[in-house]
């Protein structure tokens, strides 16, 4: 009888020793499965930091462009931003190359371009979409000492009446966009091909004051590619 009682006491003692270990393991499992939510409310400082970061993020360019011709150089390349409820607005900054042709040297141009695309129509259920109208204006300048904003003193006042350094341009065009499969995206998520018909302020004045000029004399045709990165 004493032997059986000794065995029972040893068994009870073993259970008492194992209980804390089991309880600890269960508690650790419960902590792993528990999702804790912060009760700290967002204060004025946090809101200000979020606004600060959001404004800096807005400066990240969303696309890149390459354009041929368009009164901004033979080839122009640059970057820009899409914005608006439907990304219908674009602002581009472009640098172009103007070969020397009959001048002394090759020149560099700089263009600030504002685009407006009112509609984007998807072609059935494909990855293609068409923008039937794109329009806007851009300011273009040429770097070089021979170009001026104000007439040099060597000319009589009002002799030219315009700047040879800065041109204001208007354009109309159309686009087609291909949305790249997410599994095949590497550098861009969409590719857009476009063409534009443009003219400058100086060309328009010449067209109205010289009836013998034909559209080909004051209109310019250009082509371009847009890579949508974001």
The residues with which 90 forms a beta bridge, in sequence order, are 82, 115
Q: Number of folded domains in the chain?
A: 1
Q: Is 26 a member of any domain?
A: no
Domain of 184, in residue numbers: 61-228
CATH number for the domain that contains residue 202 = 2.40.160
Q: Is 201 a member of any domain?
A: yes
* Cα separation of the two ends of the chain: 83
Which contacts of 115-122 are long-range, i.e. CB under 8 A and separated by 24 or more positions?
115/89, 115/90, 115/91, 116/88, 116/89, 116/90, 117/88, 117/89, 117/90, 117/175, 118/88, 120/86, 120/177
Q: What distance in Å separates the CA atoms of residue 203 and residue 197, rounded to the nearest whole number?
A: 13
Q: Is 45 a member of any domain?
A: no
Q: pTM of the prediction?
A: 0.77
Quick: pLDDT tens for 5-21: 555 555 555 544 554 54
Q: Is 211 a member of any domain?
A: yes
Quick: pLDDT tens for 14-61: 544 554 545 555 455 555 555 555 566 778 888 898 899 988 988 999
Q: Is 56 a member of any domain?
A: no
Quick: pLDDT tens for 189-205: 999 999 999 999 999 98
């Amino acid at each position: 009888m004493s032997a059986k009682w000794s065995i029972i006491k040893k068994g009870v003692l073993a259970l008492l020793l194992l209980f804390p270990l089991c309880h600890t393991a269960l508690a650790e499992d419960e902590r792993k499965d528990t999702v804790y939510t912060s009760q700290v409310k967002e204060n004025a400082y946090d809101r200000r930091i979020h606004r600060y970061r959001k404004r800096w993020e807005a400066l990240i360019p969303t696309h890149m462009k390459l354009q041929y011709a368009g009164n901004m150089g033979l080839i122009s390349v640059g970057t820009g931003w899409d914005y608006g409820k439907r990304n219908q607005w674009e602002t581009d900054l472009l640098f172009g190359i103007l070969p020397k042709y009959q001048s002394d040297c090759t020149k560099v141009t700089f263009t600030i371009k504002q685009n407006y695309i009112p509609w984007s129509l998807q072609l059935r259920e494909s990855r293609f979409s068409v923008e039937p109208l794109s329009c806007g204006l851009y300011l273009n300048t040429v770097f070089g000492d021979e170009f001026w904003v104000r007439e040099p003193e060597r000319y009589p006042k009002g002799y030219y009446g315009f700047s040879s350094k800065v041109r204001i341009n208007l354009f109309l065009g159309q686009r087609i966009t291909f949305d790249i499969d997410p599994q095949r995206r590497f550098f861009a998520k969409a590719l857009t091909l476009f063409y534009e018909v443009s003219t400058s302020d100086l060309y328009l004045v010449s067209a109205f004051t010289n009836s013998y000029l034909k559209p080909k004399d004051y209109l310019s045709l250009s082509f371009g590619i847009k890579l949508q990165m974001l």
